Amino acid sequence: MRELRFEDVTVRYGTRRHGTVAVDRLNLTIPAGQVVGLVGESGSGKSTLARAAVGLTPVTDGRILLDGEPVLHGWQSRRESLPSAHRARRPMQMVFQDPYSSLDPRMTVGASIAEAMPRGLSRPERRAEVARLLELVELAPERAEVYPAELSGGQRQRVALARALAGQPEVIIADEITSALDVSIQGTVLNLVRDLQRRMRLTMLFISHNLAVVRYVSDHIAVMHHGRLVESAPADEVLTNPQDPYTRELLEAAGQGPYQTRRSR
């Protein structure tokens, strides 16, 4: 349970003169144990922000802080001389959009999950932990022996969740985790994410282009547009009293109620 804070974060691709600014001086705080939903259209910089948070994309300017300390990523923390307790855990984990490319097709589900675990566990310990994690995401422990090709999209996304949890993270970044899934599967994954977050008191940045999905999962909602944060407030406030014109546009687009039709509009 830790607080994740983005301070004046800027991510620029390319050179100073010919580059594009994907994230522009963004400030956002994700309070400990809460879910912040991040909405915005494709190209608005949401995924870049997520990748920067876990260290996949270098930050051009600004800082990303975990409980006030700069974040150290997996391979950095191993290189630098840190106490081993720090090295063991991976405080931030990410779940990706496409469950078909986020699991190594040549590795069993169990091996993929075990790889993300802190070092220094014995073989039986790892096996027990894999079984526990699989049960946590509502998959049979026997699935550890299976290759991803034998699983459906929804099942793969559960494995990806289990792998993220294997690092014993305190912050999880979920980047469009349901948008590649079928409608009937999406619900189960959303329920699972919500349930796990509440049970484990995880701090979570939940990214989606779908406002209704974000609203269902999040306590706070942040809206990104062209690399800038245009709105950030408690969920109900954003929905009932949006300040930014772009947020209003998004709300209008998503506003088709479940039974609202052309005729009744």
> Which spans of this chain sit near other proteins (rule: CB under 8 A)?
41-42, 51, 54-56, 73-75, 77-78, 90, 92-94, 96-98, 101-107, 112, 115-116, 152, 154, 160, 163, 166-167, 182-188, 190-191, 194-195, 209-213, 215-216, 239, 249-264
- Residue 204 Cβ vs other proteins, minimum distance, rounded to whole Å: 15
- Residue 180 Cβ vs other proteins, minimum distance, rounded to whole Å: 10
DSSP label at residue 148 = G
Q: Name residues whose C-beta falls within 8 Å of residue 226's C-beta, 6 or more positions apart in sequence.
A: 24, 44, 45
Give the H or E element holding residue 158: helix 153-166
Shorter beta-carbon distance to other proteins: residue 24 or 100: 100
Shorter beta-carbon distance to other proteins: residue 93 or 203: 93
Q: Which of 234, 213, 209 lies closest to 46 in space, CA to CA? A: 209
- Residue 21 Cβ vs other proteins, minimum distance, rounded to whole Å: 19
CB 43 within 8 A of CB 209: no
- Residue 101 Cβ vs other proteins, minimum distance, rounded to whole Å: 4
Shorter beta-carbon distance to other proteins: residue 135 or 236: 236
Q: Name residues whose C-beta falls within 8 Å of residue 153's C-beta, 6 or more positions apart in sequence.
A: 99, 100, 180, 181, 182, 185
- Residue 123 Cβ vs other proteins, minimum distance, rounded to whole Å: 17
CA 62 to centroid of chain Cα atoms? 21
Shorter beta-carbon distance to other proteins: residue 20 or 101: 101
Q: Using CA of residue 8, residue 13, residue 18, residue 22, what is the dihedral sign? A: negative
